[in-house]
Amino acid sequence: MTLDTNAQVALAALAIGAAFGALARWSGFCLRGAVEDALTTANAPRLRGFLAAMVAALVVTQALVLMGRLDLSKAIVLPGSLFWGGALLGGAMFGVGMVLTGGCGTRLLVLAASGNLRSVVSFVVFAFVAYATIRGLLAPARSLLSSLSSVALPRPVLPLMVGGAIVAAGLAFIAWRKVPAKHLIAGALIGLLVPLGYLATGVLGADEFEPAQLESLNMTRAGGDALMYLLIWTGAKVNFGIAFTGGILLGAFAVAASRGELHLVGFEKPTDMVRYAGGAALMGAGGVLALGCTIGNGLTGMASLAPTSIIALPAMVLAAAATLKWRWRNK
């Protein structure tokens, strides 16, 4: 039996998601944790792991582009205009939100797979608000902000020399101090999933009549699509993002089960639920404004040399650092 294009892309996304979930659970991969490490430890292992992922994703993705194996001209992360207002505001909102919830969208999924009910609630709120910002009640506000703070780009991709500078700086920082190998290994392997995602949608998804959207790892829209799929179901198709979301749950669950880490964790007090839900809402809206989450901007966007990601990622990191310091001072 021959699978149609959509089924092939979905199966590839499921496998990519499972690999991501397993590696993230094993290593604690998370940008929120990376920022915390940078503020509290000398060697910042999770930050170096995230940089290893970014470097691997960027090098391999751009190598495929140079070899003519990949055409990113129609990639979702490379629109024809720079929504700088959304990148700044959305990035900052996402950075604050991921501190309040304890992790970004993918991290919430990884934790939810082991029985963390706080992450389950937070992810549902995150996905709901993201979808509302794309197509629902919050969409007009997003469109208004876009009209006020967007500029046309004659070239939607940053020069390759910028990518070279990012790779050089990332490698220098990684080599500066020794960290446990698992962070670098897991980070590099996670980074390789970005070009695999592009190959899945760009090669397997190449269909003359119904081509798949050219995309790779990004949880913001994927989370909203997954939630809507569960609500609608009948007649709905499983796209790359939905299958990627399911794969993360499977991979993270498998690793957590093998390590005896499956246990239910709930909210300790009502105010915690308010904090988690508020943080998740900030991430949902912010991720849409910034055209991606920490993975969508930090890995896929940077690997694609997307101008938006150069603005959004630092905004996320700085906002997260400021929020962590504020929370520590007010404990």
pLDDT given for residue 176 in this prediction: 81
pLDDT given for residue 212 in this prediction: 72
- Confidence class for position 1, pLDDT limits 50, 70, 90: low
pLDDT digits (tens, 9 = 90+) for 78-97: 988 899 999 999 999 999 99
Q: What is the pLDDT of residues 190-224, one digit of tens each?
A: 999 999 999 999 888 777 667 778 899 999 999 99
> Of all residues in the chain, what percent carry a pLDDT higher than 90?
79
**So what's the pLDDT on residue 193?**
98
What integer pLDDT is reported at residue 175 of this predicted model? 82
> Which pLDDT does position 48 carry in this prediction?
94
Give CA–CA dist 31/77, Å, rounded: 19
Q: What is the pLDDT of residues 238-276, one digit of tens each?
A: 999 999 999 999 999 999 999 999 999 999 898 999 999
CA distances from 239 to 50, 226, 234, 242 (A): 26, 9, 14, 5
Between residues 114 and 5, the one the model is more confident about:
114
Q: CA 241, CA 228: separation in Å to the nearest integer?
A: 12
Q: What is the pTM of this model?
A: 0.95
Residues 6+ away with beta carbon under 8 Å from 176: none
Mean pLDDT calculated for residue range 37-48: 92
Q: Which tokens in the block code for residue 33?
A: 């944790």
